[in-house]
Structure formats: structure tokens, C-alpha cells
Copies of this chain bind each other. A is one copy, B any other.
Amino acid sequence: MTSTKFRIVIIEDDHTLRDGYAYLINNSPSSVVVASYCSFDHAKNNLSKDRPDVILLDIQLPGTNGIDALPALKKLLPDTYVIVLTVYESEKTILHALANGANGYFTKNNPFPKIIDAIQEVTQGGGPMSINVARTVIMSFQRNQNSPLTKRETEVLILRSQGKDRSQIAEELFIETETVKTHIKNIYSKLNVNSRADSIRVARENKFI
């Protein structure tokens, strides 16, 4: 009979980690490592014939890094799930990876055997994440409680960040365009900026909006 094991490809430049994951996966009943590569550049020409169900991808790779490899992987193998395995846990890296198509994200300090569960989970359409990643992701949705902006100013700036102009904002908030203007002036003063783009940037960077 044909094996129904999940086909796994590992792209990771650290030999020890690569062998560790491979050992674990090959000793699990549900998965088998069909190939390992030390960089995306080495992997890309073989992936089509490897036909992986799941790719374990490191971020810090020689040549093309994992973040940049993701869109290419997704284009090459649209139905393959990609789980990122990395030491990076900065919000920027995590969100970037997810935006680029990562289906799961684990930091390497995560208990090793969890990767087996993660493979199961991702093939069932889940989005496996380690605890600290989940925290980062959740925190990325949350606003800063110490915003200098008032409730109304925050509302105005959010509408502004949706590309709306003064009159559209005025209409939506049932106030005059002149009032909107005043709010904007106060926002600029509080954020120490003097343009729409800067106000949105500063507010986003600080999660005021």
C-alpha cells in the first residue's frame, strides 16, 4: 500500500537542529522527512519533485532569507504548508513572516517534540504557534493604553488612516469639518509631527491607533 505519511522538507542551515528535527519526524508515525536543505537557494530547484506537504523553514539562512523565501515558496508550492522555525521573535519578524504566507511560527526555545503536533495541526488547517509568538500576535492587535490622544482624536486619526478626508470624517462623526481640523491640529501637536503620513506612522508605531 501507498504510504500516507506527511512529506516534510526542512530548510535550515544549522546541521544539529536539522538532524534533530529529522530524527523526531522520522520517528513519528505520521510524517517522514523527504529532503533537507541548508538554504532556500539550494532547495528551490528540488522542491517540485520533493512534493512536500509541510516545509519547516528557518528565517536566518545563507543567501535568500526565510522571510523573502516565503512568497517564492508559496508561488512554487501553493498547497504546501510552511512552518517557520526561528530564534527571531521580534514582532516585526513574526508579522512579516505571517504576512508573507507562513502557516505556523515557532521559536526554537519551544519544546522540541511540539513540532510533531504542529505538523498535525497545520495540515488540519490550524495555525500552530508557540506561546510567545501567540502573545506577540495578540499584542500586535492591542492598543497602547498610554496614548496621549483623546478618544475623539483617536477616532479621527483612525478614520484618517483609512484614507478619509476631513469632510468624510466630519460626516461620519456628525461634526463640522472645522472641528475635524482642530482635532488634527491637536493630534499633530501631541505627536510632534506636521503631516498626515507622519501622524499615522507615529501613531501606528506606538499603537495609539
**Closest residue of B by beta carbon distance from A121:** B131
Taking Cβ atoms with an 8 Å cutoff, the residues of A that contact B are: 74, 78, 95, 98-99, 101-104, 121, 124-129, 131-132, 134-139, 141-143, 145, 160-165, 168, 195-197, 199-201
Q: How far is the CA of A164 from the CA of B104 in the complex (A)?
A: 32
Oligomer: number of copies: 2
**Does the CB pair A134–B135 fall under 8 Å?**
no
Of B74, B126, B143, the contact of A131 (CB 8 Å cutoff): B126
Contact of A162 among B78, B125, B132, B201 (CB under 8 A): B201
B199, A163: Cβ atoms under 8 Å? yes
- Closest Cβ of chain B to A130, distance in Å, is 9
Chain B residues positioned under 8 Å from A132 (CB to CB): 125-126
Residue pair B131, A134 in contact (C-beta under 8 Å) = no
The smallest C-beta distance from A42 to any residue of chain B, in angstroms, reads 26
Q: A137 to B160: give the CA distance in the assembly, Å.
A: 25
Q: In the assembled complex, how far is the CB of residue A131 from the closest CB belonging to chain B, in whole angstroms? A: 4
Partner of A98, one of B138, B163, B165, B195: B138
Name the distance in Å between A90's Cβ and chain B's nearest Cβ: 15
Contacts of A135 in B (CB 8 A): 125-127
Q: Which residues of B contact A134 (CB under 8 A)?
A: 126-129, 134
- A161 / chain B contacts, CB cutoff of 8 Å: 161, 163
